[in-house]
Amino acid sequence: MKKQVYIYRSFERFWHWTQAFLIFFLAATGFEVHGSFVFFGYKNAVEYHNIAAYAFIILIAFAIFWHFSTGEWKQYLPTFSNIKAQINFYLVGIFDNAPHPTKKTVLSKLNPLQKLVYFALKVLVIPVMVISGLLYMFYRYPQKGGIAGLNLDSVEPIALFHTAGAFALIAFIVVHLYLITTGHKPTTNLKAMITGYEELEEDKTEKSATPKEELKAETIEK
Amino acid sequence: MKKIVIILVVFFLAIVSVVLFLRTKEIRQPLTVQLKEKYSKKHIPSVDHSKFSSLQKNFTHPQEVTETCITCHTERHKEVMKSNHWNWEREEYVKGRGIIHIGKKNAINNFCIGVEGNEQSCSKCHVGFGMTDALTGYTDSTNIDCLVCHDNSETYAKGSEMGGAPDPGVDLAKVAQNVGKPKRTNCGVCHFFGGGGNNVKHGDLEKAMFEPSREVDVHMASEGVNMSCVDCHTSENHMMKGKMYSLSSMNRGRSSCEQCHTESPHEAAILNEHTLKVACQTCHIPVYAKVNATKTDWDWSTAGQLKDGKPFEIDDKDGNHTYLSIKGSFKWGKNLKPEYIWFNGTADHYLLGDTVSDTSKVLKINTLNGSYADPESKIIPVKVHRAKQPFDPITKMLIQPKLFADKKGEGALWKDFDWLRASDIGMTEVGLPFSGQYTFINTEMTWPVNHMVSTKELTVNCIECHSRNESRLAGLDDFYMPARDYSAVIDFSGKWIVILSLLGVFVHAGVRIFSASKRRKGN
């Protein structure tokens, strides 16, 4: 039996969409700083990029707190079971209208490939971008204070890491935007991330939380 | 639980907005306004020299004027005689050479090459009288020319070929009664005409700076703050701040923008960060030679062509010489974008008698030191003057030819047009060997551009340097600059990863749509 399930909570959706906007904006301003095109004007691009970067860092701080306080971080632990089946689904099964090999539930929202890719984003790409971005921002010239302790003679390695990360994120967005159409219907996943609700196969073994039930749970905790 | 969080957030936002609202705005006037006020005040002299009885007489020799000056200003002549305006040289430490004296006696340039043999004429720009051919006369204090710098009547002028003495037509008493703080005309009469004509050498110092518009120079603009040279080039005991690295070598006694404007004059922090590595002039002097052209290239090798046995000249439409039989061919430029170099305030120079080890390279007459890695270095704008000048291929020395003489037959190039003889006599006069052969070598001279500061609206834009293909700093390749620089490997692979992702997505979507429609038909 299928049932409307509250799968993405309000903060999660807020985090997701703010992050999406910031990444697009950072990419636009960032590639202007990189010299790829002219749009905002160079000085504006740099200033906007820095402001958006601080906003992104604040968002990340909240997101980290949210992930740990809700236990959602466990969803991102990579697993290799079923990974072959998932790859098989995208390469073959999807064309034959085969069912998704992994079942989406509130406690396991991500398929094994998503787990792996999101995990890589969270522990590799985003940290590289944040760290190289902060170094870029606070880089001062040799022997002139700033982060002299790192003994970097040039902003070049910092900039190159930052650029490489940016390309990786863009490639991720391209594939991510496409793969959200591979839900039950092409718009299923998008709707879910906007409203929070998705029609899922009811799982008898798990308690599917609706906002009401969630509230109840909270009052019980109190 | 949720309520508490909401209350906390609202409380926090309230505090922040109250703090932002109550924060006092800067009441102090911006520095530029304070500076404008300071330099707009008219200088009122404390004495009126026309009231001094000792100056009410007919001076027959300029030395008498100097003697009279010294009777009141009893110690000033000692200061002047220590200055480089008087000595035409400075004691400098140069790495690799030690402590040496560098000046017009031993330095060479790639314009008229040097003063040797031409002292009578060149001393028109010496703060003294009685210059002899041997560059002596430096010890007699009555030979100091106080008036050339302190005349405020604008009637003083030095005579031609007179060893620095004033033109016979000058009313010395009138000038002596009208002395004061040096004006733009006092400095400009020499510094705007270096190299034998207006704006020949510097490019940013020329007669248009006597009464410039705001577009030409924001500081000296007659309708603006109307600053004089000595407002920035301040002096203490006749030692002027500021010097030119055509002759200077050490990082001292420089005049700088920061002495008024501080090292962080901008509102935007991102611009202030630039001042660590970029000199003010780099952004604030987008072009130089804004009114009249400056000489950019001098080819001595074509000198000596005659028409009907007589020297001739060719001028361009603006009246600049493009050919002179006595000097060769010239190129000129107006509204020029400077070239850019790293500079740490120290320089080396080709000195008379230096031998050139590698004659295949362009010889640098002056080498301004600096690099990205050097913490003292900043990017500065420069004019580079290129030349082809006489060179002895055997001794490997630049040749100081004898250029000037009163009449034909004395071996001067400008009268007899004989390179061999002019070289022979010239080198003998400076006490250097000459092999009897001459050729021409390509040389470069670097002139920092410091004047003709533009209004802030005309400042160099970010993108003029931070640009892939048209960066003003394209020549400075020893550091990574955002937008100009990138890793070919990372940009190439990055681009292809994105393109392949897009391709993969489109192919996958295509197959999905195709198989779905096939299924529908099958059903």
Q: What is the pLDDT of residues A136-174, one digit of tens each?
A: 988 876 555 555 556 677 889 999 999 999 999 999 999
Q: Are residues B512 and B471 in the same domain?
A: no
Both B230 and B375 in one domain: the answer is yes
Q: Find the CATH number of the domain harbouring A87.
A: 1.20.950.20
Nearest CA to B310 out of B170, B172, B394, B408 is that of B408
**What mean pLDDT, rounded, does chain B reach?**
92
Interval B102-140: pLDDT, tens: 998 899 999 999 887 777 788 889 999 887 766 665 788
pLDDT of residue B130: 82
User: Is A154 in Cβ contact with B501 (below 8 Å)?
Assistant: no
Residues of chain B contacting residue A147, judged by C-beta atoms under 8 Å apart: none
Q: What is the predicted pLDDT for the residue at B117? A: 74
Q: Which of B485, B491, B509 sits opposite A178 (nearest CB)?
A: B509
Residues B242 and B377 placed together within one structural domain of the fold: yes
Residues B443 and B512 in one domain: no
Residues B498, A167: C-beta atoms closer than 8 Å:
yes
Q: pLDDT tens digits, residue range B24-41?
A: 665 667 888 889 888 988
In a domain? residue B230 = yes
pLDDT tens per residue, range B345-388: 999 999 999 999 999 999 999 999 999 988 899 999 999 999 99
Confidence tier at A79 by pLDDT (50, 70, 90): confident
Q: Report the number of distinct structural domains present in chain B.
A: 2
Q: Hey, are the CB atoms on B273 and A140 less than 8 Å from each other?
A: yes
**Residue B389 structural domain:** 203-399+438-485
Query: Would B466 be classed as within a structural domain?
Result: yes
Percent of chain A with pLDDT over 90: 60
- Together in a domain, B300 and B329: yes
Nearest to A159 among B482, B502, B504 (CB): B482
User: Residue A192: pLDDT above 70?
Assistant: yes
Domain span holding position A173: 2-221
As for the ipTM of the complex, it is 0.87
Q: Are B338 and B454 in contact (CB under 8 A)?
A: no
Residues in chain A closer than 8 A to B12 (CB atoms): none
The pLDDT, as a whole number, for residue B7 is: 87
Using an 8 Å Cβ cutoff, are A12 and A31 in contact?
A: no
Cα–Cα distance list, B444 to B111, B169, B276, B439 (Å): 10, 40, 28, 16
**Residue A145: per-residue pLDDT:** 54
Q: What is the pTM of this model?
A: 0.89
Examine residue B284 and state whether it is found in any structural domain, yes or no.
yes
Looking at the complex, report in whole angstroms how far the Cα of residue B496 sits from the nearest Cα belonging to chain A.
9
Residue B41 lies in a domain: no
Average pLDDT over every residue of B140-168: 92
Q: Is residue B74 part of a domain?
A: no
Q: Which of B466, B493, B502 sits opposite A35 (nearest CB)?
A: B466
Minimum mean pLDDT range among B16-20, B383-387, B436-440, B452-456: B16-20
Same domain, B496 and B473: no
Residue B377 and residue B478 in one domain: yes
Structure tokens at B15: 């505090």
B214 and B315 both lie in a single domain:
yes
**Is B136 in contact with B119 (CB distance < 8 Å)?**
no
Average pLDDT over residues B462-485: 94
Place of tokens 């009555």: B142
pLDDT band at A220 (very low <50, low <70, confident <90, very high): very low
Residue numbers in A near B274 (CB within 8 A): none
Nearest C-alpha of chain B: how many angstroms from A37? 9
CB contact under 8 A, B1 and A218: yes
Does residue B458 share a domain with residue B333?
A: yes
Mutation target for A interface from B462, B468, B477: give the one with most A CBs within 10 A. Answer: B462
Cβ pairs bridging A and B (under 8 Å)? 94
- Using the 8-state DSSP alphabet, how is residue A122 labeled? I
How would you label B147-178 residue by residue, b for 16+ Cβ within 10 Å and e otherwise?
bbbbbbeeebbbeeebbbbbeeebebeebbbb
Residues B498, B357 share a domain? no
Q: How many domains does chain A have?
A: 1
Q: For residue B278, give Cα distances in angstroms to B246, B376, B380.
A: 21, 11, 7
Residue B330 lies in a domain: yes
User: Which residue on chain B is closest to A95 by alpha carbon?
Assistant: B512
> Same domain, yes or no, for B387 and B510?
no
Q: Is residue B409 part of a domain?
A: no
Residue type, A41: G
Q: What residues of chain A lie within 8 A of the CB of B273, using their CB? A: 140
Asked if residue B492 and residue B481 are part of one domain, the reply reads: no
Bridge partners of B389, per DSSP, are B441
* pLDDT value, residue B26: 57
d(CA B345, CA B92): 13
Q: Which residues contact A49 (CB under 8 A, 6 or more apart)?
A: A26, A29, A30, A33
In percent, the amount of chain B with pLDDT more than 90 equals 76
